[in-house]
Amino acid sequence: MEKQIIPLKKIVVIGPESTGKSTLCQQLSDHYKASWCPEFARNYLLENGKDYSFDTLLTIAKGQIALEDAYTNNITSNEYSNSSQLLFIDTDMYVLKVWCEFVFNNCHQWILDQIVSRKYDLYLLCNTDLPWVKDELREYPDHDTRNRLYNIYEDIMINQQVPWVDIRGNSEERLSRAISAIDTIL
């Protein structure tokens, strides 16, 4: 019997800091028994120091793409895998674009080119209705800044072609909303 090839679906989780992106990726990975690609920036900044420049964000962007590609290749090259043909991605180039423009009022052309060339199946935009949680890398604890950032992401989502869903509510509501959206594209 010939194995049926199921195309990989890539679901990106984006939004301002401290909106539950990594938690949601982990929950979805557990629910669907699928892989998730973590945010490259977190480990990079923890290893190299939290001070960053405009050029550092290009390095982070390239690291994020390399990490995503490694996860994609691992899933698509494993013909005997029993795992789901889903990949959850914590952060993409839209996040790097917002980060560059918000902090430096400029964005690397390489990041913009990646936005145009990369293809995804669904975006989950995490809302700011969760309390901000302090950690050594987070920069924007005030609600007004977090909402401004959310509005930037929402505007991007409205003006691009990939389906997207606003993820809000408590942890259970967020997970339920995400699962419903993912089930519609499967």
CATH for 88: 3.40.50.300
pTM (2 d.p.): 0.93
How many Cβ atoms from other residues are within 10 Å of residue 51's Cβ?
7
Are 124 and 11 in contact, with CB atoms under 8 Å apart? Answer: yes
pLDDT tens-place string over residues 62-112: 999 999 999 999 988 875 454 568 999 999 999 999 999 999 999 999 999
Total tally of structural domains belonging to the chain: 1
3 found inside a domain:
no
Whole-number average pLDDT of the chain: 93
60: in domain: yes
Within-domain flag for 112: yes
Within a domain: residue 44? yes
The predicted pLDDT at position 81 comes to 52
- Could you list the residue range(s) of the whole structural domain that residue 69 is in? 9-185
Q: Is residue 82 included in any domain, yes or no?
A: yes
Count of other CB atoms within 10 angstroms of residue 35: 20
